[in-house]
A and B are shown apart, each in its own frame.
Chain A
Amino acid sequence: DVKVTQSSRYLVKRTGEKVFLECVQDMDHENMFWYRQDPGLGLRLIYFSYDVKMKEKGDIPEGYSVSREKKERFSLILESASTNQTSMYLCATLGQLNSPLHFGNGTRLTVT
């Protein structure tokens, strides 16, 4: 069974802080994704990575960056957190083509 682990379940940060959200998977999947989920807007793709050191912008990359130094780990970075980045962040992995996504249990980030 695929396991996707996000480092924190709840996080509270101050405006302007640099924030790291970590995601680790144990299934050797190439594709990893970061989404944010907000009421009424659904899940929106921030960034994804299809291989080590490879990254692609999703639909809402502004204010975020990512790092994929190892296959199992995909990090989301908020360079300078802002209150509009308060959200639920979900990491997901994808194995072979046409297979479903596997999600981590999410990080609820509050920026004050």
Chain B
Amino acid sequence: RKEVEQDPGPFNVPEGATVAFNCTYSNSASQSFFWYRQDCRKEPKLLMSVYSSGNEDGRFTAQLNRASQYISLLIRDSKLSDSATYLCVVLTMNTGFQKLVFGTGTRLLVSP
């Protein structure tokens, strides 16, 4: 089983739709969680951190479910510019070092 798993998609949605992605992780000791956005041929950029209580940033909502070991990203009122790959990142302390594990990403395509 992979440490971090994501549905690769693509998720094809019309403008204005609401879309949600999940990301599951296998290590129950994982401490921090992030969502990154990556545009084609560009480096990943931090979209938002995921806090235990859930957090919202404009149209984006991130949630953490420790019992079921997954995080989610909800995008409301999708824009064309939201088309990208969304990477889930999980941080775990491993023998004294921080270990970051990436999911393979979920591709989102927003169409007019």
Contacts and interface: CB of A to CB of B under 8 A. Distances in A.
Given A50-B97, A94-B98, A103 B44 contact: yes
Interface string A70-100: 0000000000000000001010001001101
Main secondary structure of the interface of A (DSSP, over half): strand
A48 to B, nearest CB: 8
Interface string B1-41: 00000001000000000000000000000011010100001
B102 A43 contact: yes
B80 interface: no
A41 B105 CA distance: 9
Interface of A: 31, 33, 35, 40-43, 45, 48, 50, 56, 88, 90, 94, 97-98, 100-106, 108
Interface of B: 8, 31-32, 34, 36, 41-46, 49, 87, 89, 91, 97-98, 100, 102-105
29 contacts: A31-B98, A33-B100, A35-B102, A40-B8, A40-B104, A41-B104, A42-B87, A42-B102, A42-B103, A42-B104, A43-B44, A43-B102, A48-B97, A56-B97, A90-B43, A94-B100, A97-B98, A98-B31, A100-B36, A100-B46, A101-B34, A101-B44, A102-B46, A103-B43, A103-B45, A104-B43, A105-B42, A106-B43, A108-B41
